[in-house]
Amino acid sequence: MGNFEHNRESWNELTSLHIKSDFYDLKSFKKGNTSLNHIELEEIGEVKGKKLLHLQCHFGMDTLSFARLGADVTGIDISDESIKVAAELSAELSLRAKFYRSNVYEIDKVLDERFDIIYTSYGAINWLNDLDKWAKIINRFLKPGGIFYMVEFHPFIYTLNEELQINENYFKTKQIETIVDRTYTENSKITKKNLKNVEWHHSLSEVLNSLIENGLEIKLFNEFPFQVYNCFKNMIEIEKGKWVFEKYKDKIPYMFSVKAIKK
């Protein structure tokens, strides 16, 4: 089984847990709450009337939140189960959206159009092994003058082990394989055996240079001394919606964002 197929299989399993979790709070979302955070809402700007492509959309809550804001949305994800749930949500909530099951690197097999905005967020690029190829895909599907926006966990976070000691290389290394026995939501335990994740870590310079070298002009770059999700161990909430490691507080970076325009 290839690396991406391992991830496809594990995310099929994780989706069934995530849709039942308080972490995702699908019940509130169905009542009209947005799943988007203030950071991406403020930094992306107006989306009404824009064609938006969401890469690695999981089961579509962010994608459909953009649809509620008036965007013409398309979501892509590697997981069959995620895309199935996303399509069901779209129909249930009467929100217009298109969802396709695809590896990011193969979306030209399911799409042949260009977008005003391409979006990706929170725990996405660590599932990709080649950011140069990723940036070429972004360029290919973005209209001239279109916006690419990402908000992500800071790569420094991935250098820390469970005791919050620096244990991993910050810079790109070989693929990291882990057995999947739990997820980041509160109902975390996974019963299915022999699931494996394959991930790759990417430094900020790799992220930014891949975009710059593929025709995207960086307009905004921010780092944040907190993160918006309680999805790692040993975190405390310092303000509503702002989580930090108790050990480091706000002394380290937890997230970053990039906004770029296709030349």
Residue 2's pLDDT is 77
Dihedral over Cα of 123, 46, 207, 5: its sign = positive
pTM for the whole structure: 0.95
Q: Where are the domains of the chain?
A: 3-262
How would CATH label the architecture of 3-262?
3-Layer(aba) Sandwich (3.40)
Residue 182's pLDDT is 81
Residue 219's pLDDT is 98
- DSSP string of the chain, one letter each residue: --HHHHHHHHHHHHHHHHTT-TTTTHHHHHTT-----HHHHHHH---TT-EEEEES-TTSHHHHHHHHTT-EEEEEES-HHHHHHHHHHHHHTT--EEEEE--GGGGGGT----EEEEEEESS-GGG-S-HHHHHHHHHHHEEEEEEEEEEEE-GGGGGB-TTS-B-S-SS--S-EEEE-SB-SSSS-B---SS-EEEE----HHHHHHHHHTTTEEEEEEEEESSBS---SSSEEEEETTEEEETTTTTSS--EEEEEEEE-
- Please list the ranges in the chain whose pLDDT falls under 50: none
Residue 162's pLDDT is 87
Residue 1's pLDDT is 55
Residue 64's pLDDT is 98
Residue 81's pLDDT is 95
Contact 182, 15 (CB under 8 A): no
Q: What is the pLDDT of residues 201-210, one digit of tens each?
A: 999 999 999 9
